[in-house]
Amino acid sequence: MQNKIDIKDLSYDELEGYVIGNMLPKFRAGQIFEWIYRDVASFKEMTNLPKALIESLEKDFYIGRVKIEAMQHSKTDNTRKYLLGLKDGNSLECVLMDYSYGKTICISTQVGCRMYCEFCASATGGLIRSMTSGEMLEEVMAVSRDIGERIANIVLMGTGEPFDNYDQVIKFIKVINHSKGLNIGQRHITISTSGIVPRIYNFADEKLQCTLAISLHAADNGIRSRIMPINRKYSIEKLIEACEYYIKVTNKRVTFEYALIKDINDGAKDAHKLGTLLKGMLCHVNLIPLNKVEGKEYEKASKNSIDSFKGILEGYGVETTIRRRLGSEIDAACGQLRQKYKTH
Ligand code: SAH
């Protein structure tokens, strides 16, 4: 068991390489790939493979599965929050939301996080480790298995910074998008970053059709550096420059996330600064009422200030929506469930 690899960690090309290395025709890789993403639990179930191939798969790999350790279900909006156990004993969270346009899963990309955003529960405890692409796939598969339904959309907005785990995240997107795999369209995948600027350039050059969301939360460097330490390394100017490159290369609209925090970034002055910054850009602003995190002093902005913030932005021609809050009564936000259960 020790030296075996989780077969879900393999890209299609890697699996093909394995098959060719075993002197077998390439099409066997396609068959294996299809079985994995049809969610078989053992290699024996891959009934169209020769026995010798099944045996060598058993020798070299295992089929990784995560364990559902806890689940909270909100009856009001049908949101489910899962605590999943990894094989090394670590736990992570993901949330399933029931939107009119399909079931949407919010997955974690790391166990913990090292971005240390002030208002976020995931920051507590720092980074434990990054997840593998196979583990991210299993978040989607385990939840789909549990509800007995296909998942339509994926957002990489759970715990962790996707661009701090860049290679595995890109591999995950390519595998989940593969026609012989789960075949989830890139347009149904959103990736959210706190603003690791060099990776935004890399991501633009990948020319994927995923939506890129940027956690902006302030248009002023002083405020942003205070609530998001990453801004001390990559300023708002550098971040916007990278977004402009992304838009130019992909011709895709960028989403800016902005969590409104009472008396920190929710004033008219803040809205005007944001409007001035984003005016004329191919973008969209998603205003998020802050989710109160226990032990943090930050409070959510009032409904009035959120509405007037939106009005000011629209005055600059910036398309703005207010995110509907799902699952707020089941800790379905930003590392809160893991925080409640975890021991480390
Ligand atoms: N590290 C990535 C993705 C994970 S966080 C990123 O920063 O984008 C997903 C989103 O939730 C980010 O926009 C993040 O800033 C936001 N968020 C974190 N804590 C929050 C809170 N308490 N209330 C509202 N949004 C929060």
Would you state the pLDDT for residue 213? 97
- Tokens linked to 288: 């998020």
Candidate of 192, 298, 323, 339 to mutate for ligand 1, largest count of ligand atoms within 8 Å of Cβ = 192
Residue with the larger pLDDT of the pair 259 and 77: 259
pLDDT tens digits along 227-273: 999 999 999 999 999 999 999 999 999 999 999 999 999 999 999 99
Cα(262) to centroid(ligand 1), Å: 16
Instruction: Report the pLDDT value the prediction gives residue 127, as an integer from 0 to 100.
Output: 96
Q: Looking at ligand 1, which atom is closest to the CA of residue 215?
A: 13
Is 117 a known active-site residue? no
Q: What contacts 2, CB < 8 A, 6 or more positions away?
A: none
Share of the chain above pLDDT 90, in %: 87
Residue 132's nearest CA partner among 9, 7, 316 is 9
Query: Based on the number of CB atoms within 10 Å of its own CB, is 126 exposed (0-12), middle (13-18) or buried (19 or more)?
Result: exposed
**Confidence label for 326 from pLDDT (cuts 50, 70 and 90):** low
Task: From 136, 212, 288, give the residue whose CB has the most ligand 1 atoms within 8 Å, as the site to mutate.
Answer: 288
The residues lining ligand 1, judged by C-beta closer than 6 Å to any ligand atom, are: 115, 117, 119-120, 157, 161, 192-194, 215, 257, 259, 288, 290-291, 293, 333-334
Which amino acid is located at 317 in the chain? G
The preferred substitution site among 215, 224, 230, 286 for testing ligand 1, maximizing ligand atoms within 8 Å of CB, is 215
- Angstrom distance (rounded) from CA 40 to CA 35: 6
For the CA of 119, the nearest atom of ligand 1? 22
Strand (E) or helix (H) holding 254: strand 254-260
What domains lie within the chain, and their CATH numbers?
5-62 (1.10.150.530), 67-342 (3.20.20.70)
The pLDDT score that the predictor gives to residue 73 is 93
The residue whose CA has the least distance to atom 1 of ligand 1 is: 161
Q: Whose CA is nearest to atom 14 of ligand 1?
A: 215
pLDDT tens-place string over residues 295-325? 888 999 999 999 999 999 999 999 999 987 6
Least confident of 188-192, 242-246, 340-344: 340-344
Give the chain's mean pLDDT: 93
Query: Known catalytic residue: 94?
Result: no
Catalytic residue among 16, 93, 138, 161: 93
**Least-confidence region, from 21-30, 188-197, 253-262, 331-340:** 331-340
Choice among 30-44, 62-76, 110-124 with the minimum mean pLDDT: 110-124
pLDDT at position 324 = 72
Cα 208 to middle of ligand 1, angstroms:
22
Binned at pLDDT 50, 70 and 90, residue 342 comes out as very low
pLDDT of residue 116: 95
Q: Rounded CA gap, 84 and 90, in Å? A: 8
Nearest residue by C-alpha to atom 9 in ligand 1: 157
Instruction: Encode pLDDT of 125-139 as tens digits.
Output: 899 999 999 999 999
DSSP assignment of 287-327: EEEPPP-TT----BPPHHHHHHHHHHHHHTT--EEE----S
